Structure 1
Amino acid sequence: MLTYQLIEGAARRQWLDDLLLADEEVGMIERYLMHGQFYTVSDQQQVIGVFHLMALNNQQVELKNIAVRPEWQHRGFGGQMMTQIQTIAIDQGFQSLLVGTGDGSLAAIGFYLRQGFRFEQIRKNFFDQYQTPIYENGIRLKDMVVLAKIL
């Protein structure tokens, strides 16, 4: 059974390597790291991943980062984490959950669609603000694809 621990304040910085699995630039992570809610996810007291939620308003919350450590991937933990994320959001009164990913992040887009998310919007040229270009599946990321799920 997975356990979830809310991490406050500067202690969040020790999990930067995990956050970098899902967002490749420290500067971008620093923009949201000290805001919202940051959780570690453990299986039998071993951290297997992290996620970060940030309220956009009193009805919408955004999943800013979700990462499962490579050695724990493809075992269903991401889906279990998404279930817990939705439970947290519902318990806090949010009505929808948003998540953004790169336009070339085909595996991530597929994962979110399987979790019941639907396409919401495109944030044009979002990845232009990154210092180093990011490539996934041979595609240079340009736009952020935003998906949403009604809770």
Structure 2
Amino acid sequence: MSLQIQEVPAMSAPMELLLLADPSEDKVRSYFPRSKCFVASNGEAVVGACLVQPLGAGAYELMSIAIQPAHQKSGHGTVLLKWVIDFFRKSGASQIEVGTGTFGYQLAFYQRHGFRVTAIDRDFFIKNYPEPVFEDGIQLFDMLRLTLRYTADVA
């Protein structure tokens, strides 16, 4: 069965799923007022979700993207990310950005889809989360900012 992706009101976003990508419920909820929310479904089951916010001047930020653990490594994350990239390209965006940890599969995931590191937000995870955030047993300190710039020849 193919993945169906649709926009839903941000307040209807599947919180338990989004918390897989960002451990702070308060932080995720703070994204809702300005975000577009997209959910990916396989039949009746929601398998993925993401939140995207406008930054201004044709730029958007992917605030959160997550796939249910049972559906990870099945290509659903790639389908959702490519769909979001295409959606904003078609809407006239000039770029889409994302922030992620300095290592791990997420970094490679974004880079495989054309995102390039454009900045380092030093001590982001220390300054913005009350509890330490760990990835693969290693504490995250800095956030890498990655950007995908759209060009006229992108199909």
- TM-score exceeds 0.5: yes
TM-score by length of 2: 0.90
Aligned equivalent of 1:87: 86
> Could you tell me which residue of structure 2 aligns to residue 21 of structure 1?
20
Give 1:4's aligned residue: 5
Per the alignment, residue 116 of structure 2 pairs with 118
Question: Does structure 1 retain, via aligned residues, the 8 Å contact 2:50–2:62?
Answer: yes
Residues 136 and 2 of structure 1: CA distance in aligned 2, closer, same or farther (over 3 Å) = same
Structure 1 residue 9: deviation in Å? 5.0
Which ranges of 4 or more aligned residues in structure 1 deviate by more than 3 Å?
none
Instruction: State how many pairs are aligned.
Output: 148
- Distance (Å, rounded) in 2 between the aligned partners of 1:46 and 1:30: 22
Decide whether aligned partners of structure 1 residues 9 and 148 sit closer, same or farther in structure 2, where only a CA change above 3 A counts.
closer
Runs of at least 5 residues in structure 2 that lack an aligned partner in the other structure: 151-155
Partner Cα distance (2:26, 2:59) in 1 = 24
The aligned amino acid for 1:122 is I
CA distances 1:88-124 after superposition (whole Å, capped 9, x unpaired): 11122101111111124x1100111111111111111
1:33 alignment partner, SS class: helix
Secondary structure of the equivalent of 2:28?
A: helix
Q: What is the RMSD of the two structures over their aligned residues, measured on CA atoms?
A: 1.3
CA distance, structure 1, for counterparts of residue 137 and residue 50 of structure 2: 26
The verdict on how the C-alpha distance between 1:49 and 1:89 changes in structure 2, with shifts beyond 3 A counting, is: same
C-alpha separation between the residues in 1 aligned to 2:125 and 2:67?
22
